[in-house]
């Protein structure tokens, strides 16, 4: 046994967009153990339900995270709708699905860029983010915001998208898809990229189940788990299968996410074809009383919302279990026996969102 050394990794590190601290216990160049520490960006957003009424909190819920902001707002609204037994109009549900899927494209493109940056492929990083920019423009055109949309409301959505804009969205995404093929070809086939990802950080199916991995992390290890199959919003009307891979390494996780970008484009096409005419929001009356629990599929995986209300305009409790929080044990599992030089890549392959985790 070699001499053991402890290397602190983070909270500030070039590869980390957000602060997380890991104590890496090393034997020579191999990581033996990693001890995580969070708590650098805790904002107490769950406690804020006591100070902001349940309608105002819609805007706070969106701000839990800057990447999956739409789905945080949507999850919170769906939980409150569940308590108040509100039926969202079909068009509202379809619009929510469209925005959720566009969010998925935006999140995965961001992740692809960051990964390229982590293994030092700068031009690939720039091109991924260039394509993401077009998606952000679509968001700004339809909702008014680039990353925070303020468009989801209890009872439906606050803004409608007309038929012309829906077709523009599809044509922009179709054009983008062609350019994306060239880029994802680099991610999947380039020798230097494969050298950094294939066989790195293998998470077996059993370990993924044991550590409770969610989202692309679990799907890359061969577990077909996708909350969209529960059929919330308009997903029950759409045809899709969860994308999985068997290898469980960093390359498989990349493969799954790339597959999901194309799947999201396809789902948006299906939505635009199927979207019915009608209202987008139901008016709500009174205050919620009761409790509700809901699960959604965010770009990073399964997210859980729990809302407890007491009949006043202030909620009793709001709880979020975010996907990154669930994926941290799986990350620690993959870090065991890896090289020190692979640690940044492995931390990125769980698609860490520390703001979500700490709320």
Partner 1 sequence: MSILSMTKTLFKSIVHGPYTQLYPIKPRENFERTRGSIENDIEACIFCGLCVRRCPTSALKIEKAEKLWSIERMQCIQCGYCVEVCPKKCLHMRNEYTTPNTIKVKDEYVDARVSDN
Rule CB under 8 A: choose which of 52, 205, 237, 295 binds partner 1. Answer: 52
Q: Which of 158, 207, 317, 321 binds partner 1 (CB under 8 A)?
A: 158
Smallest distance from the beta carbon of 224 to partner 1, in angstroms? 28
CB of 266 to partner 1, least distance (A): 23
Pinpoint the alpha helices (H) of 275-342.
323-335
Q: Binding of partner 1 at residue 185 (CB under 8 A)?
A: yes
Minimum CB–partner distance for residue 97 and partner 1 (Å):
20
Nearest of 215, 180, 218 to residue 300 by alpha carbon = 215
Q: How far apart are the first and last CA of the chain?
A: 40
Contact pattern from residue 117 through residue 156 relative to partner 1, giving x for each residue in contact according to CB under 8 A and a dash for the rest: ------xx--x--x------x--xxxxxx--x-x------
Q: Which is nearer to partner 1, 9 or 76 (CB)?
A: 76
CA 334 – CA 343 distance, rounded (Å)? 9
Q: Which helix (H) or strand (E) segment is 306 a member of? A: strand 301-310
CB burial string 96-131: b at 16+ within 10 A, e below: bbbbbbbbbbbbbbbbbbbbbbbbebeebbebbbeb
64 binds partner 1 (CB under 8 A): no
3-state secondary structure of 288: coil
Asked if residue 241 binds partner 1 (CB under 8 A), the reply is no
Rounded distance between C-alpha atoms, residue 82 and residue 307, angstroms: 9
Q: How many chain residues are in contact with partner 1, going by CB under 8 A?
A: 31
Using the rule CB under 8 A, is 190 a contact of partner 1? yes
Measured from the CB atom, is 24 or 183 closer to partner 1?
A: 183
Per CB under 8 A, 59 contacts partner 1:
yes
Q: Which is nearer to partner 1, 162 or 206 (CB)?
A: 162
How many Cβ atoms from other residues are within 10 Å of residue 273's Cβ?
10
Which residues, at least 6 apart from 168, have a Cβ–Cβ distance to it below 8 Å? 141
Q: What are the tokens at 107?
A: 């999140």
Phi, then psi, of 298 in degrees rounded to 5? -90, 170
The contact mask relative to partner 1 for 192-221 (x = CB under 8 A, - = no) is x-x---------------------------
Name which of 150 and 282 has its Cβ closer to partner 1: 150
Residues that bind partner 1 (CB under 8 A): 52, 55-57, 59-60, 63, 123-124, 127, 130, 137, 140-145, 148, 150, 158-159, 182-183, 185-186, 189-192, 194
């Amino acid at each position: 046994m070699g001499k053991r050394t402890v290397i602190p990794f983070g909270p500030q590190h070039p590869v980390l967009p957000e602060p997380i601290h890991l104590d890496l216990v090393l034997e020579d160049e191999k990581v033996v153990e990693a001890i995580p520490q969070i708590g650098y960006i805790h904002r107490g957003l769950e406690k804020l339900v006591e100070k902001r009424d349940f309608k105002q909190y819609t805007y706070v819920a969106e701000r839990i995270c800057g990447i999956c902001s739409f789905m945080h707002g949507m999850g919170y609204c769906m939980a409150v709708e569940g308590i108040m037994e509100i039926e969202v109009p079909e068009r509202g549900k379809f619009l929510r699905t469209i925005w959720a899927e566009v969010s998925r494209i935006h999140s995965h493109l961001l992740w692809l860029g960051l990964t390229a940056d982590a293994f030092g492929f700068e031009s690939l990083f720039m091109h991924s983010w260039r394509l993401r920019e077009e998606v952000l423009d679509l968001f700004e055109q339809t909702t008014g915001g680039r990353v925070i949309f303020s468009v989801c409301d209890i009872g439906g959505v606050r803004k409608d998208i007309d038929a012309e804009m829906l077709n523009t969205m599809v044509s922009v995404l179709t054009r983008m898809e062609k350019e994306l093929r060239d880029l994802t070809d680099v991610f999947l086939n380039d020798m230097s990229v494969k050298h950094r990802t294939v066989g790195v950080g293998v998470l077996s199916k059993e370990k993924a189940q044991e550590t409770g991995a969610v989202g692309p992390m679990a799907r890359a290890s061969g577990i077909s788990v996708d909350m969209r199959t529960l059929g919330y919003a308009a997903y029950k009307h759409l045809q899709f299968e969860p994308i999985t891979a068997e290898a469980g390494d960093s390359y498989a996780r990349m493969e799954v996410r790339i597959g999901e970008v194309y799947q999201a484009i396809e789902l948006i096409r299906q939505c635009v074809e199927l979207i019915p005419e009608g209202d987008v929001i139901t008016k709500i009356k009174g205050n919620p009383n009761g409790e509700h629990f809901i699960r959604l599929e965010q770009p990073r995986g399964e997210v859980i919302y729990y809302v407890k209300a007491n009949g006043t305009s202030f909620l009793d409790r709001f709880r979020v279990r975010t996907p990154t929080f669930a994926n941290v044990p799986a990350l620690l599992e993959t870090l065991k026996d890896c090289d020190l030089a692979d640690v940044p890549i492995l931390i990125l392959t769980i698609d860490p969102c520390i703001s979500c985790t700490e709320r």
